[in-house]
Chains A and B, each alone.
Chain A
Amino acid sequence: MKLVKRALQAILAHLDIPLMCIVLALMGVGLLTVFSATSSDGFQKLDKQVINMAVSFLVMLAIARTPPQSLMRFAVPLYLLGVVLLLGVALFGIVVNGSRRWLSLGFVRIQPSEIMKVAMPLMLAWYFQKHESMLRAKHFVAAALILAVPVLLILRQPDLGTSLLVSAAGFFVIFFAGLPWKVMFGLAAAGGAALPFAWNMLHDYQRRRVMTLIDPTSDPLGAGYHIIQSTIAIGSGGGLGKGWLKGSQTHLEFIPEKHTDFIFAVFSEEWGLLGNGILLVLFTLLIGRGLMIAAAAPTLFSRLLAGSITLVFFIYAFVNMGMVSGILPVVGVPLPFISYGGTALLTLMLGVGILMSIQTHRMLVKK
């Protein structure tokens, strides 16, 4: 008895209860929606997603117990490993659907860009921690290089969604580290000017996605089909939705990728504006809690890391809902904690674990 009690106390000591409640609520919404989206194929997907959630929850618990100082030790090796693997992909990667994203290790296929989602903020936060209180311009330049190498490798695969998330994760660290506003605006202006060149560098299918965003009806049976059908689903959901398991767009298979990237259309059709509002509130709470943890974090490393992870959650949620509702181009970004899929969930829960670790270890640091 005593042992169990102590074990429970040990676990609870490193849990952030508000964060956990929000994440559990989102996962609950996720399970309901995954069930609705996959009910025609039985319970297999739902079962698998429950297992995914359980596994990633355990990972979160483990990470939460690990002090930030220990996490910091992983930063450089993890980042280097990621870069090496990305180079490996570029050289020996497997091509699926025209993209070279996977690396076969014989028994398992891995997607190294996924590692970068965690390694990038770790690495940059470690870098800034190392040079704390003597940050100069050159450090920001170095940080930019650390960011650019893997992002460019991922862009080349090509994988717009992941490179967006990785570069966002890196950028947010640099932003919180104090990148001057004028530099940011200057970069934004330069970026605007470079847009035509970037357009030329995009792959045909990426350009088409941008074009179909501007006018989905220009290709209603091809690239525009996704956006048209998902906006129909959302719009026809109305104020209160059609009811759980009653979305005609969902259940008559009009929504593509309905249990993964486009799951928000399923949710929105069945739960309406009310459901969307609740979901936005949950995400706002998640991000709010994350930012609070960042603000209260004791070290530069943990502050930068917490801030970046939190804002990456925001990017996930915003980009996904934006693309499904037709205001952003279609890029492969899942809806965090809700979309079906083990890898994305694991990465996200790693992030949650890090946030909890930072929150629950801050007193120890103080002492």
Chain B
Amino acid sequence: MSNFYATEPDLDRFRNRILVAGAFVLLMFLVLLARFIYLQVIQHEYYTTRAESNRISLVPIIPNRGNIVDRNGTILARNYSAFTLEITPSKTQGLEKTIDGLAEIVEIQVKDRKRFKRLLEESRNFESIPIRTRLTDREVARFAANRYRFPGVEVKARLFRQYPEGTLAAHAIGYISRINQRDKEAIADQGQEANYKGTEHIGKSGLEANYEFELHGTAGHEQVEVDAGGRGIRVLSHTPPIPGNNLTLTLDAKLQAVAEEAFGGRRGSLTAIDPNNGAVLALVSSPSFDPSLFVDGIRFDDWDELNNNPDKPMLNRAIYSTHPPGSTFKPLMALAALTVGKRTPGQTIADPGFFNFGNRRFMDDKVGGHGPVDMYKSIVVSCNTYYYMLANDMGIDNIARFMGELGLGRKTEIDIPGEATGILPSPEWKQRRFKRKEQQKWYSGETISVGIGQGYNAYSTLHMAHALSNVLNYGKVFRPHLVNTITNPTTGEKRVIEPEPVRQINLKPEHVDIIRRAMTGVAKEGTSSKAFAGAPYTSGGKTGTAQVFSLKSGQKYVSGQLKEKLRDHSWYVAFAPAEQPRIVLAVMVENGPDREETGRPGTGSRGRGKRRTARGGESR
């Protein structure tokens, strides 16, 4: 094609450049094509997965938490459904403004705002946080009509934990509360993150904590197609959750209620165990608290009150508070002496009312002494002198070995967390306990105090009930436990916790019978005989006093003259029926009102009307 206007070389160059341009275009399009092949063929699978995970959101469905019932089916913990008003802070247009607006529609109190603020600090911005719980139907309707005004606010139906018996057995049952960072780590350690994705509450103490993974159940999930804004478009699949297992306890709610009432608000604890299998029948820690307060984030003032209450209601005294057991220790000492062969039942001492050791004089309760005392009488009248001598003859190593076998000074492995080890004094223990050389030395005089349950001795009522159970069971040791049966509510399948003896202590049955009879004697003719006059059953027991405060020699103990906190703690251990014990219990009342005449507490339904004359042994 010739051209009149362009000179030939110019035109050639131009056409040359057209060719270059065309080649460049083709090259660049090939680069694009290569990119498309890379994305759509080579990486196709990867991007398909990415698109699917974009599109499909897995919404967890929280399983119903298992119920907790007592041995007779009384419900102690269950769930109920209620509407909550929840705010997702990241989706709102101004948090304060939103809450103020909501307050015009539903009732929002200052405490609700406070709780919300606290939860807000604990959570992340995109989580939804309840501002109000338990909305009435009318409030739900009123909010629904105004919904458009509140982006990021939703009404949700949620299950709440309820403790219908209130404060009853609160320490044993425990409570649930919102999951915090520490709980999250614990969940991760158990490999349960996926199962807990939607879960907001977790057991924090007691059975709720210990059986968390039984009670929780398995989360279900829904596959929901969502758009880029996270709004659900349709449900693609639905896997229902599997509810958590129910717990049937060994605890008897009626017995527990009677026992709690008997404390009359006084500080103390009680543990009742069936010696034949280790089943815990009652576990009282007084005063108690209402576990419902924790369920949805405890209010600040409630928390403050529970924490600063001088009576420490949150403390589970039955398993954590340890004190010297006083004279309740004596039957165990007697058994120890029989077992190691340091005493025979008939061996009699003459009690002058004191025991001289070195240049120190250990006093008996009774001025002038009890006269001739054999083993039976030593328990019935709670003779200190008998046990001063006995302890001295046995030596601390023998005592510590035997008491350790019985289960003192170690954990009983009860199925709730927070158990104390207690203190079983021994030269080794002192070495561990004290840093300074002069404190580490064991003095023989200390052995003598240990012999009557004073000194460094420190046990919980759980310890004492456990040890006495082991004795009365002829040395067969069961792990104390609160849960009898775990039931799968879907299949109805039951797992009964068959108590297996965990070990056998070497005790001679005839030695045990001697102790059992002597303790029966205490109830019949001894220090607690008045309390049991006319009871329709036979029982055995032993009183005791734990010293809080040492009197100077020559001073007389008059409880009325001492500040309450310095008064002695009162102990009582007992069992019934005397011949074939089905219940063993240990009670401790902190700073009991009177050392001579302690009327309360009673010792449960079987011990209703029991009064006792606390007359433990003292080493003064």
Residues of chain A at the chain B interface (Cβ within 8 Å) = 132-133, 172, 175-176, 178, 229, 231-239, 248-249, 252-254, 268, 272-273, 276-277, 280, 283-284, 287-288, 291, 294-296, 298-300, 303, 307, 311, 314, 318, 321-322, 325-327, 366
Contacts and interface: CB of A to CB of B under 8 A. Distances in A.
B13 A299 contact: no
Given A239-B44, A325-B35, A326-B35, 9 more contacts: A132-B5, A132-B6, A178-B10, A235-B44, A238-B48, A276-B36, A295-B14, A307-B14, A325-B32
Interface stretch (B215-223, B227-235, B357-365, B528-536): B227-235
A346 B7 CA distance: 35
Contact of B22 (A232, A239, A287, A321): A287
Contact of A239 (B21, B41, B51): B41
Interface string B282-298: 00000000000000000
A312 B47 CA distance: 32
Question: Among B1, B18, B37, B228, which residue has the most Cβ atoms of chain A within 10 A?
Answer: B18
B25 A232 contact: no
Contacts of A273: 36-37, 40-41
Dominant secondary structure at the A interface: helix
A252 B228 contact: yes
B39 interface: yes
Given A235-B47, A236-B47, A252-B225, A307 B29 contact: no
A233 B29 contact: no
The 4 closest A-B pairs by CB, nearest first: A235-B47, A236-B51, A252-B227, A235-B39
A321 B39 contact: no
Contacts of B233: 252
A233 B36 CA distance: 11
B54 A284 contact: no
Dominant secondary structure at the B interface: helix
Contacts of B17: 175-176, 178, 307
Nearest to B15: A295
B228 to A, nearest CB: 4
B226 interface: yes
Contact of A253 (B5, B7, B52, B227): B227
A236 B32 contact: no
A256 to B, nearest CB: 9
A291 B52 CA distance: 43
A234 B40 contact: yes
B50 interface: yes
A366 B22 CA distance: 26
Given A235-B46, A300-B6, A307-B18, A321 B32 contact: yes
B126 to A, nearest CB: 12
B32 A234 contact: no
B25 A235 contact: no
B540 to A, nearest CB: 73
B301 to A, nearest CB: 40
Nearest to B37: A273
A268 B6 CA distance: 44
Given A133-B10, A236-B48, A311 B21 contact: yes
B21 A248 contact: no
A334 to B, nearest CB: 16
A294 B20 CA distance: 13
A172 B47 CA distance: 38
A253 B29 contact: no
B35 A254 contact: no
Question: Among B13, B29, B31, B233, which residue has the most Cβ atoms of chain A within 10 A?
Answer: B29
Given A178-B13, A273-B37, A273-B40, A318 B28 contact: yes
